[in-house]
Structure 1
Amino acid sequence: MTGYAARVLGVNLGRVARLEGRRKSVPSAIFKAPAPGAVWLRREGFAGDEQADRKNHGGPEKAALVYPTEHYVRWRRMLGREIGLAAFGENLSTRGVTEEDVHLGDVCRLGGAVVQVSQPRRPCYKPAWRHGVRNIALLTQQSGMTGFYLRVLEEGEVRAGDALLLLDRPPGTVSVEEANRVMHRDRDDAEGIENLLSCRWVPTSWRRDLRRRLAGMEEDAARRGSKGPSEPGPCQPGTAASE
């Protein structure tokens, strides 16, 4: 097992507000901002943080979203503008670890809390509204720059400057990068699908989709990016294509 110790650059919180489009608006808490001090991480998420859609966001299996700031360089190039902490609605902006390093099931110390990596992020349409790029969910998935969710094993305080420190990696895990590869890019990799299904840490919703795929009932990956109101325009030519 290779250990890691990422640094938390920001603990980001947000309240539900209206995300305005040209013709309509939707409720969202995707606009988050770094907290000035320590924040209590509960089983359901950070105290003071909100989610507009509790069916698909937050809860014990998605208590906190981690996003590596290493990806910001590529996103700035793809979007053609500066972005700062919490640009993708993440609770924890980190440096020092990416999806390649992190495995589903990893148990980590996070400040005063103990957490476990639960699943990669599969973004909905709201990042597209925030950044004005209609296909940003698809770009996120295909690039592998998804970030990942945590479940909370022991509650505790977390602040900027704390470490996300790997404590234990159970046997039979797969990396977040590998899970993303099979789910979003190499969708016909039967061996990869079977390998994911053999990992006990792969979430139930993913298992359902993977089994449907093995049975020949394909899921359109682009649907996740197009669900909800279709407000934003396409990505600027020449930005995403080269990625």
Structure 2
Amino acid sequence: MVKEGLNIMALNIGKPQTLTGLGQTVISGIVKRPVDEEIYLSQEQLTGDGQADLVHHGGPDKAVCVYSYDHYPYWEKHLDNTISYGAFGENITITGGTEQEIHIGDTFKWGEAIVQVSQPRMPCHKLAKKFEVPDLPKRVIETGFSGYYLRVLKEGAVSVKEPLIFQERHTTFSIAMVNDVYYKRCKDKMVIEQVSEDPYLATSWRKMLTKNKK
């Protein structure tokens, strides 16, 4: 069960910039820096943040990317390197709040804002390029340490000093379960149908799950 409040260890933002890795160069907003000041969270994103690929990143169902610091020790061992807050391109690095604990539709108060869990985070090639580890996205999928996104139900000022205060739970589908259904149980039509009909799950994921069912 979710704790009453999830503490935020870091609030991270960053504008798109040139990223070079694995012999390729792309423009990406995956590089984030922690900020201490209060900033405004709109329906689309945090002030000062940005995405380069607006087809696959950003938008109302991906306003805020969340990643649990609980996974950092694993990745530091796997990567044989110390990593800093925002390492996975997340906007907020939190204590607890893992994929097993958090459910689609979970609603939180964050400062003046109200946010809601909308979908798992799907790792892409830019994560591999940032760390220069070709199979990193695959490893994220295998571990289930994906992180997840929040949509904004109410805009407002937020900061690293304000925890995510749990408000409501609407579904029985955890982020871990949605990941498992999409990546490992793609032939289980009954479960896919149940999850894909969840109105709190982002439309893009509902469509992907439905496509898998066919």
TM-score, normalised relative to structure 1: 0.83
C-alpha RMSD of matched pairs (Å): 1.6
Task: Flag the 1:23–1:133 CA change in 2: closer, same or farther, 3 A.
Answer: closer
Measured after TM superposition, the shift of residue 145 of structure 1 is 0.5
Measured after TM superposition, the shift of residue 211 of structure 1 is 2.1
Note if 1:92 corresponds to 2:92: yes
Note if 1:209 corresponds to 2:208: yes
* Aligned equivalent of 1:218: none
* Aligned equivalent of 2:132: 132
Q: Deviations over 1:54-105 (max 9, x none)?
A: 1111111100001000000111111111111000000001002111111111
Matched-pair contact (CA < 8 Å) for 2:186–2:213: no
Q: What is the distance in 2 between the residues matched to 1:206 and 1:19? A: 27
Gaps of 5+ in 1: 216-243
Measured after TM superposition, the shift of residue 3 of structure 1 is 4.8
* Aligned equivalent of 1:42: 42
Trace 1:83-232 onto structure 2 (pairs within 5 A).
Answer: 83-170=83-170, 172-215=171-214
Q: What is the distance in 1 between the residues matched to 2:193 and 2:179? A: 14
- Counterpart amino acid of residue 211 in structure 2: R
Q: How many residues align?
A: 214
Gaps of 5+ in 2: none
Measured after TM superposition, the shift of residue 30 of structure 1 is 0.9
Measured after TM superposition, the shift of residue 196 of structure 1 is 0.8
Q: What is the distance in 2 between the residues matched to 1:118 and 1:166? A: 15
Measured after TM superposition, the shift of residue 15 of structure 1 is 1.6
Measured after TM superposition, the shift of residue 32 of structure 1 is 0.4
**3-state SS of paired residue (1:46):** coil
Q: Deviations over 1:183-215 (max 9, x none)?
A: 122333333212212322222222222222222
Q: Deviations over 1:135-187 (max 9, x none)?
A: 211211221111110111111122113211110112x4411111111112233
Measured after TM superposition, the shift of residue 22 of structure 1 is 5.6
- Counterpart amino acid of residue 180 in structure 2: R
Measured after TM superposition, the shift of residue 50 of structure 1 is 1.2
Note if 1:61 corresponds to 2:61: yes
Larger Rg: 1
Q: Deviations over 1:82-135 (max 9, x none)?
A: 111000000001002111111111111112211111111012110000011112
Q: What is the distance in 2 between the residues matched to 1:67 and 1:20? A: 23
